[in-house]
Amino acid sequence: MKKIVVVLLIAFLGMNANAQEQLNKNKKVEVEVNGVCEMCKKRIEKAAYSVKGVKSATWHADHQDLHLIIDETKCTVLDVEKAIAKAGHDTKDVKATDEQYSKIHGCCKYRTDDVH
């Protein structure tokens, strides 16, 4: 009987430790983010860094992607995407409202229905 209890206890602790390991403190993620210029880059990166748990954020205009390193115990990719949308930039999963988008500078307009 003692052996069964010990085996079950070890199995439970092993599963518990495994569940905790799934949250990565240095998870690398790429997120599609629409933008145009250096002003967009600054705005996008600033919005990403405003989320607690973002360790690194670098946006690349040529690929329209944001490279992130996040602490998953403090934030999610969705948290970052929401902050970026609030700053006026669309991501693949979260779109800025028309009101948020209208606040970005004219040279930063990236939607195809805009006239430059």
Q: What is the pLDDT of residue 22?
A: 79
Predicted TM-score (pTM) above 0.85: no
pLDDT at position 8 over 70: no
Q: Are 96 and 86 within 8 A, CB to CB?
A: yes
Q: Are 40 and 65 within 8 A, CB to CB?
A: no
CA dist., res. 29 & res. 25, Å (int):
12
Query: pLDDT confidence of 15, banded at 50, 70, 90?
Result: low
Q: What is the DSSP letter of 69?
A: E
Domain range annotation of the chain: 24-108
CATH class held by domain 24-108: alpha beta
Q: What is the pLDDT of residue 79?
A: 98
Q: Write the pLDDT tens digit of every residue in 25-35.
A: 999 999 999 99
Q: Write the pLDDT tens digit of every residue in 55-100.
A: 999 999 999 999 999 999 999 999 999 999 999 999 999 999 999 9
